[in-house]
Amino acid sequence: GAGVSQSPSNKVTEKGKDVELRCDPISGHTALYWYRQSLGQGLEFLIYFQGNSAPDKSGLPSDRFSAERTGGSVSTLTIQRTQQEDSAVYLCASSDREFSSGNTIYFGEGSWLTVV
Amino acid sequence: AQKITQTQPGMFVQEKEAVTLDCTYDTSDQSYGLFWYKQPSSGEMIFLIYQGSYDEQNATEGRYSLNFQKARKSANLVISASQLGDSAMYFCAMREGLHTGTASKLTFGTGTRLQVTL
């Protein structure tokens, strides 16, 4: 596709349920990022996939959060046993030409998660 | 220590005037990139401008320019001829480890909310 695609765009779930958020990066982009943005706040890094290297999971807030990237393309962020504090916008981004000086990182429109 | 510091939580500017949004950063890397993003109320993150640490010239993109002062570790965004549509949240971000095979995540500041007035 032309841009980073995320689904669902909106998700309301009950506390304690699991949710999966999907990200389809720009074709050919080797790097993929997940961020979380709570209402009125800045962006909180969650996880970063870089080609075939082991992902940087240093931002995942708890073991309820996990992410996979299959075939170097689509990624799924899974939140198990959701809590109300998980309510936020989950933003995915991708970039190309990993080690060049002119690369830019493009964001999807986000998945708005509300835990009730 | 904060990697990216944006000290202005909110700014006002009159239409057609120029405005500078401040950003300072902290890194020990020699090779890094600095980014500015705009986030309107719709929530999307819009890439505005990029400055590489080895770039000798300040980056410019239309009405946006980046005042890069490497020794002071500052990367201020200048918006010229402000328009009502420029009202949004603006985030400064940094990516360390470029050119070294260890390029890392993008680290964001807390943002500055810009309001353009008539």
Average per-residue pLDDT in chain A? 90
Contact list, B59 vs chain A (CB under 8 Å): none
CA distance A20 to A18: 7
What is the model's pLDDT at position A98?
59
Q: Is the pLDDT of residue A27 over 80?
A: yes
Cβ–Cβ contact B91 with A under 8 A? yes
For residue B47 the two structure tokens come to 């890439």
What is the model's pLDDT at position B49?
93
Q: Is the pLDDT of residue B87 over 70?
A: yes
Q: Which residues, other chains included, contact B62 with Cβ-Cβ below 8 Å and sequence gap of 6+?
A: none
Question: Which has more pLDDT, A41 or B23?
Answer: B23
Angle at B25 between CA B35 and CA A40, to 5 degrees: 65
Cβ–Cβ contact A34 with B under 8 A? no
What is the model's pLDDT at position A87?
96
Cβ–Cβ contact A107 with B under 8 A? yes
What amino acid is encoded at B72 in this protein? R
Minimum-distance CB partner of A43 among B52, B91, B104: B91
Q: What is the pLDDT of residues B28-57, one digit of tens each?
A: 988 899 999 999 998 889 999 999 998 889
Query: Which residue do the tokens 């943005």 mark?
Result: A37
Subunit contact B45:A104, Cβ cutoff 8 A: no
Q: Is the pLDDT of residue A1 over 60?
A: no
CA distance B75 to B93: 10
Subunit contact B99:A99, Cβ cutoff 8 A: yes
Q: Which of B64, B105, B110, B113 to mutate to test the interface with A (most CBs of A within 10 A)?
A: B105
CA distance B79 to B54: 23
Q: Is the pLDDT of residue B100 over 70?
A: no
Q: What is the pLDDT of residues A60-116, one digit of tens each?
A: 999 999 999 988 799 999 999 999 999 999 999 998 865 555 567 899 999 999 999
Peptide bond connecting A8 to the previous residue in cis, omega within 30 degrees of 0: yes
Cβ–Cβ contact A102 with B under 8 A? yes
Distance from CA of A53 to the nearest CA of B (A): 10
CB atoms near residue A49 (< 10 Å) = 23
Average pLDDT of span B59-86: 96
Average pLDDT of span A15-36: 94
Q: Is the pLDDT of residue B1 over 60?
A: yes
CA distance B108 to B92: 6
* Of A108, A104, A33, residue with least CA distance to B48: A104
Question: Which has more pLDDT, B41 or B76?
Answer: B76
Cβ–Cβ contact B99 with A under 8 A? yes
CA distance A55 to A58: 9
Cβ–Cβ contact B43 with A under 8 A? yes
DSSP structure class, residue A26: P
Residue A32, beta-bridge partner list? A49, A94
Half-sphere exposure at residue B93, Cβ-oriented, CA atoms within 13 angstroms: 27
Cβ–Cβ contact A54 with B under 8 A? no
